[in-house]
Amino acid sequence: MIDDKAMLYQNINCTAKANKFFGCHHSARTLCEIQYTCGSIGHPVLCECVLDYDYPEPLPEATNETTSSTSQQQKTFLETCVDICIEETEATGPKDNCQRWKEKAEAMHKKKERQTQLMELATE
């Protein structure tokens, strides 16, 4: 039988737009949904989850202040994703995806800053 469910299966949400017929059958989106729903349990979250599929940015892990340098600011998740993309595509050629990610990361950062400013104004 074609497309018969196995004995062990899990129904998951699909965040693809209705007009994206195969959007729910992409393995990266499926992994993102599983990580978002169940947690990543110490495994890194795929950059694609945030930058391509609009899942929320993962929360930063708590750091031990005695071992972390206060003079060196840690990169955000989005900055790290853009850097990794650029490093990985240096040898392979076009960086269109990296540029798109960079623009989206900058827009997300600006939105977060505006929300913070509005919250500060509301508490004054």
Please count the other Cβ atoms lying within 10 Å of the Cβ belonging to residue 47: 17
Q: Of 13-17, 24-28, 107-111, which one has max mean pLDDT? A: 107-111
Cβ contacts of residue 108 below 8 Å, gap of 6+?
Answer: 57, 78
Widest distance between CA atoms in the chain: 64
pLDDT at 114: 92
| pLDDT, tens digit (0-9, with 9 covering 90-100), for 55-113 | 998 887 766 655 555 445 688 888 899 998 888 887 676 677 888 889 999 999 899 89
Q: pTM value?
A: 0.70
Please count the other Cβ atoms lying within 10 Å of the Cβ belonging to residue 49: 23
| pLDDT, tens digit (0-9, with 9 covering 90-100), for 35-56 | 898 888 878 889 999 999 999 9
- Assign 22 a pLDDT band (cuts: 50, 70, 90): confident
Mean pLDDT of 16-20: 81
pLDDT at 71: 44
pLDDT at 30 over 70: yes
Angle between helix 96-123 and helix 77-89 axes, rounded to 10 deg? 170
pLDDT at 63: 62
